[in-house]
Structure 1
Amino acid sequence: MKYFFCSFLLFPIMMNSQANFDKAEKLFSQEKYTLAKPIFENIIKDNPNHLKALEYLGDIEGHYKAWDNAMVYYGKLKKLKPMEADYYYKYGGCLGMKAKEVNKFAALGMIDDVKLSFEKAIALNPNHIDARWALIQLYLELPGIVGGSERKAQNYANELLKISPVDGYLAKGHIAEYFNRYKEAEKNYTKAIAVGGSKNTYQKLSNLYKNKLNQPEKAKEVMDTYSRKG
């Protein structure tokens, strides 16, 4: 009887908490982050281990480029649920963005942790697409003297090709474009269109024609083809 009475008293509190979470989640989906944030903060005051509220707060801080604040939330999530790949991916992403904003000496000290975070995400979820994309970009942007490597970027692109062919071709096109091998990039973006056919695949090829090959008429033709397809 005592257990039933306590449960009866707690039920309205639980319902109110869920209603607040649903409200904050809706605001977040509408990109009304400044309105959603205090509601999520109140939720974790009452329930410090509320995983989704913590993740949304991390996402909000990341949106506003408050990388340290975001990493606090993602760091807590990693401790609460250490087998969740996305938490490591998001933590690594924030650390990587922070590394771009600090001096080069400080950034060098962060690179290994960035790599390890993305690699951990892949270890926990072998099909993690975004972590591979992040590692590709990291290896392209890093100078060779501190670990930059087209070969390593290509290895992750090859892995993407097996997991998600459209991402694999887009990644290979991106790498080729990064090194100004525009014909190779064109070939891979065309393959991505054939496999995926999404607006993003058409835009990649269109942007290549417009921004790198100075062929605005071909860029328009590509997007016109997509419009007719739809």
Structure 2
Amino acid sequence: MKKIVVLFLLFPKLFLAQSDFEIGEKLFRDEKFDQAQLFFEDFSRKNPSNLKAIEYLGDIAGHNKSWDKAIVYYKKLKVSKPTEANYHYKYGGAVGMKAKQVNKFKALGMIGDVRGSFEKAIILNPKHIEARWALVFLYIQLPAIVGGSESKALKYSNELLKLSPIDGYLSKGQIDEYFKRYNLAEQQYKKAIEAGSFKTGTQMLANLYKNKMNNPEKAKSVLEEYKNKKG
């Protein structure tokens, strides 16, 4: 009986020590990121080697566009576990977003780190979809003088097509749309919808009609058709 009483008295302390992470996760899922951050920070102070808590803190920093903080967290992750593809991908994404905020000269010095991180993610996980998407956008947006290349973007788009037809068609549509080949982009988005990308493909197609092809009525029609199918 005495042992049961002692255990009962100790249990609340044990529960509280373990609950910061669980509470943080619930708040994160509920998109209460600022509140979740406090719990993850407290948990991380007590458990500095817990990589998942660090990842959550990096994700929250990214959500808040605090790229310097996100970079620190993701760098710690990829150093702690260099074989995890997602850590390299997230680090590269944070550095890429930071590069958009600094002057062009400084940004140029960051491109190699961004590209290398995405490429490393693919080496570690040959089926990494998001890293290929990131490289597609990187190569179409970079000026040719610093490595921008439509052919390289298409290389990763073709790889996406083999891994996931939906992602392949959508990425090809994005490339065509970026280079103002709107009719070709339209065809790719329709292929993506036929392949099963009802929500994303329809939204991209509607945005193309409305924002690039100056046809808001067609955009409205496409969205209504999607809603009817969904209903």
TM-score (norm 1): 0.93
> 2:212 maps to which residue?
212
Q: Matches of 1:12 and 1:84 in 2, distance apart?
A: 35
Paired amino acid for 1:183 = N
Q: Matches of 1:136 and 1:169 in 2, distance apart?
A: 12
More off after superposition, 71-80 vs 150-159: 71-80
Describe how 1:139-218 pairs up with structure 2 within 5 A: 139-218=139-218
Structure 1's consecutive aligned runs of 4 or more residues displaced over 2 angstroms after TM superposition are: 8-18
1:83-138 CA deviation, whole Å, 9 max, x = no partner?
A: 11111111000100111111111111110010000001111111111111111111
> How many residues were matched structurally?
224
> 1:91 maps to which residue?
91
Give the unaligned 5+ runs of structure 2. Answer: 1-7
Paired amino acid for 2:49 = N
> 1:127 maps to which residue?
127
1:56-83 CA deviation, whole Å, 9 max, x = no partner?
A: 1001111111111111111111122211
1:13-46 CA deviation, whole Å, 9 max, x = no partner?
A: 5533332211111111112111111111111111
CA-based RMSD of the aligned residues comes to 1.8
> 2:67 maps to which residue?
67
Paired amino acid for 1:174 = Q
TM-score (norm 2): 0.92
Give the unaligned 5+ runs of structure 1. Answer: 1-7
Paired amino acid for 1:32 = K
Paired amino acid for 1:112 = G
Instruction: Give the 3-state SS of the residue equivalent to 2:100 in structure 1.
Output: helix
> 1:25 maps to which residue?
25
> 1:44 maps to which residue?
44
8 A contact 2:20–2:42 mirrored in 1 = no
Paired amino acid for 1:199 = K
